[in-house]
Structure 1
Amino acid sequence: MCGRYAFFSRPSEVRRRLEEEGMPSQEAPDDNEVRQTYNFAPGSFGLVYRADVPDYGAGQRERDGEAKGKDKTESEDDAMNKAAAAVEYSNMTEEEQLNKVTADAESNIHPTNYKLQAMKWGLVPFWTKRNPDYGSMMKTINCRDDSLIENKGMWNTMKHRKRCIVICEGFYEWLKKHGGKEKLPHFVKRKDGQLMCFAGLWDCTKFEDSEEKLYTYSIITTDANKQLQFLHDRMPVILNNGSDEVRTWLDPGRAEWNKELQSLLKPYQGELECYPVSKDVNKVGNNSPSFVVPLNSSENKNNIANFFGNQKKAAQTEEMESEATRQATDAVRSKESQVKHEPNDDATLNQDGGDSNAPVPAPVKPISNDTKHSSAVKREHSWSRDGDTADGAGEPLMKSQKMDDHGSIEEGDADVLQENQSEGSLEQTAGRSRRKTRSATSNLSPKGRAAKGGGERNKKITSFFTK
């Protein structure tokens, strides 16, 4: 069956495309009269192509099976018109009668006019007096081809006189999986990209409580071809655009059902494309261009492979942008380095660092041999505070101790120690008592130096710097 299809083209565009395919139309509805959607559902107004015939269809007005649906006033008018025409004809001369017969014959061989018309999907027979409910309408959205073989049933009048073509881009069908618990939608379209032309039937009715006419249609279905048998056992009857099949099907001169018309209702032999699409199409209210895009296509945002592909692409783009930024930064740094090393006679010194040029450091004075020892002592010696000791042994210096030439402390007069302090070998803090300090030329405590003895072990450390 066919319960949903896609029709997203404007009627004006459809008219142009059909004319290019040998299906001209003298009339077409406005674009806003037809619903354009990727999820066309029953009850919507679609686009139908048919012969420009009266609302009762092709052929003569009075036909078997339609008398009960005729409008009484219209039937009386037809009878009066025929009677008047007969009287007029009888009053003509033989020459006038011959001319009239010739004119009528020429009018019958004129090409048939066709038109595009907006109709509602879900056929309502002409004899219906009240607007049917949705459930009743759903029963007539499709018409089986085998139900048209015999000249009986509700479709009998329509198949004789009211045949049409339903225009769309493609149709949906659902594949049942897991015992029917899950249904995966598939979209079917022509491989050549042309519009699809379904064989259909139409009718016109007017309800008792309304003065407006309602035009409706149904899509004829047949057995599925080999390509679609995996999907469903039925498919719409598809006729090739502008073909002899279309002209035969729509010919208003064929007002009697016959085997030739029945033979047109067969599985499509052309090439089709069929692929799974998004499950969002299951809901009638949804509408998106992605519904006609293959589910595993790179163009489909719902494709999970697309997600990781986009992530990879984004990472590559980010990496390229980072590399470009790094190269630009390196170029700027290289340019700054070249500017920094180029001589600039106009550059001024700014010790505060306010200028773009870095301040020149002050020159370092050389240290003489006479001051090397005292400078080293100043850097190494400091008084301990709050009872801490200057050496690692934890023994306080006595006032009576002094340093010998090798850096060791000897017993002696406190004045000698004071003299050494005035030369810069020790720092003095006012108001504090003198305490023991570590030797400037040895890292050993007095006990350690006594234990190790003199000689090579007690060589002055300052002799290393004088070399």
Structure 2
Amino acid sequence: MCGRYALSLRPSAVRRRLQDENMPVDDPADLDDDDSRQTYNFAPGNHGLVYRADVPDSGAASQPQDKDKAATVDGAATHETRYKLQAMKWGLIPFWTKRSPDYATMMRTINCRDDSLATSGGLWNTMKQRKRCIVVCEGFYEWLKKNNGKDRVPHYVKRKDGQLMCFAGLWDCVQYEGQSDKLYTYTVITTDSNKQLKFLHDRMPVIFNNGSDDLKTWLDPARSEWSVELQSLLKPFDGELECYQVDKAVGKVGNNSPSFIVPIDSKENKNNIANFFGNQKKQAKSANEESIVKKQEEDFDATNGQVKQESDEHRATVIDAHNTEDNAPRPQASEAPEHSESTAVKREHSPDTVDSQEPSSKVQKSEGGQRSTIRSGSGRSMRSSVTNNTQAKSPPKAQDGSQKITNFFAK
């Protein structure tokens, strides 16, 4: 955890909210609204928003003279420290990397376990000392495993007070051989889950309270050496969170909808089938139309509310320390942001094209709005999507012997 989150706000809106929460952002003109992706289904490989101290690409206090210039009081940075909001790619790539790694390799560094920072050396050694940051989002997703992992039910987690979520993170800057452009990337630090989320997963992101002393200590550029104090900041969140089940469509990378952060059983969720039938009943203009809606609802209940899912929604995930540790459906290489663009070709209808076969059945609409099936030549009847092969009865004749004009044209 964490393998998917929500960030639908523009950078300008995020900057204003951070400033309102005692997190100043200097030089806002450096970040354009198009630099990061705004989506309710934010996946690894996308460019998200990172809040950090404004230090060189080599990191905070990377040279001895930098320490002399840093103004501090009791070991903490003074007001001279400047902070910036920057767009970075999710999936940390170390500065010593010479060539762009493949997508599977990048997926291994979207998360960093807190216990892996407790020892010296290793992949994160430079970043944890000089390149600490805050990853900003609105909330994150986690999948609850059911049926021995065969089924995964998505849940959305957010702060109960409605504030932005501030994850502890690490960042880095890399410049590949033979290229002039620099690439900034980041990872999200995870820790043990708190009591509220234990049922969902055993790991969760490290979450800081916005504008808190712990957050400022974490970002303090004067602390260029890893310490017990910094390690102690990486702990389960003790504030109030909201957690609820959401639409399974969030499992497919590329899907995006505001309904993904709305409880699945909420009246505000337009995708909730119960709400759909409820609205249909309210809009029914006659008793006959209401009976049709009731029949549709009964048919839905008979199928136990099953909805066909995309074939890649239940993709396998890895949970060891060297790979992703979340239960989110893992994005396939073809769904990586670099390969996400696709084009569709619209075929033009040729006037010379003639269907070689006649349809095996035809559907006619009865007066009551129901569709009934006409038997094909083979004697087999086709299933109706509304009436379940129930033939619509003809309306009774009026007492004066006349019928409606629509019945005449139906003959």
Q: Same fold (TM over 0.5)?
A: yes
Match of 2:85 among 98, 101, 116: 116
2:11 is the alignment partner of 1:42:
no
Gaps of 5+ in 1: 63-81, 83-100, 320-467
2:57 is the alignment partner of 1:31:
no
Give the C-alpha shift of residue 303 in structure 1. 1.4
Aligned to 2:369: none
Change (3 A) 1:156 1:106: closer
Give the C-alpha shift of residue 177 in structure 1. 0.6
1:274 partner letter: C
Structure 2 Cα separation of the partners of residues 106 and 302 of structure 1: 53
Helix, strand or coil at the partner of 1:210: coil
Helix, strand or coil at the partner of 1:132: coil
Aligned to 2:59: 57
Between the two structures, name the one with larger relative contact order (CA 8 Å, sep ≥ 6).
2
2:218 is the alignment partner of 1:216:
no
Measured against aligned partners, the alpha-carbon deviations of 1:129-174 in whole angstroms (never above 9, x if no partner) come to 0000000000000000000001111001000000000000000000
Query: 1:333-412 to 2 correspondence within 5 Å?
Result: none
Helix, strand or coil at the partner of 2:177: coil
2:24 is the alignment partner of 1:18:
no
Structure 1 Cα separation of the partners of residues 25 and 17 of structure 2: 11
Change (3 A) 1:148 1:106: closer
Query: 1:34-433 to 2 correspondence within 5 Å?
Result: 34-61=36-63, 111-315=80-284
Measured against aligned partners, the alpha-carbon deviations of 1:278-330 in whole angstroms (never above 9, x if no partner) come to 11111101001110011001111221211221122223x668xxxxxxxxxxx
- State the Cα RMSD in Å: 1.9
Structure 2 Cα separation of the partners of residues 175 and 224 of structure 1: 14
Helix, strand or coil at the partner of 1:249: helix
Helix, strand or coil at the partner of 2:136: strand
Structure 2 Cα separation of the partners of residues 123 and 60 of structure 1: 19
Aligned to 1:410: none
Helix, strand or coil at the partner of 2:15: helix
* Contact 2:206–2:237 (8 Å) recurs in 1: yes
Structure 1 Cα separation of the partners of residues 182 and 269 of structure 2: 42
Structure 2 Cα separation of the partners of residues 181 and 105 of structure 1: 55
Structure 2 Cα separation of the partners of residues 43 and 3 of structure 1: 11
Q: Give the TM-score normalised by the residue count of structure 2.
A: 0.66
Structure 1 Cα separation of the partners of residues 104 and 268 of structure 2: 37
Say which one has the larger Rg.
1
Identity %: 70
Measured against aligned partners, the alpha-carbon deviations of 1:178-199 in whole angstroms (never above 9, x if no partner) come to 1100001110000110000000
Give the length in aligned residue pairs.
280
Measured against aligned partners, the alpha-carbon deviations of 1:241-270 in whole angstroms (never above 9, x if no partner) come to 000011000000000111111111000011
2:223 partner letter: R
Gaps of 5+ in 2: 288-411
Q: Give the TM-score normalised by the residue count of structure 1.
A: 0.58
| Bigger proportion of residues as helix | 1
Helix, strand or coil at the partner of 1:227: helix
Measured against aligned partners, the alpha-carbon deviations of 1:341-399 in whole angstroms (never above 9, x if no partner) come to xxxxxxxxxxxxxxxxxxxxxxxxxxxxxxxxxxxxxxxxxxxxxxxxxxxxxxxxxxx
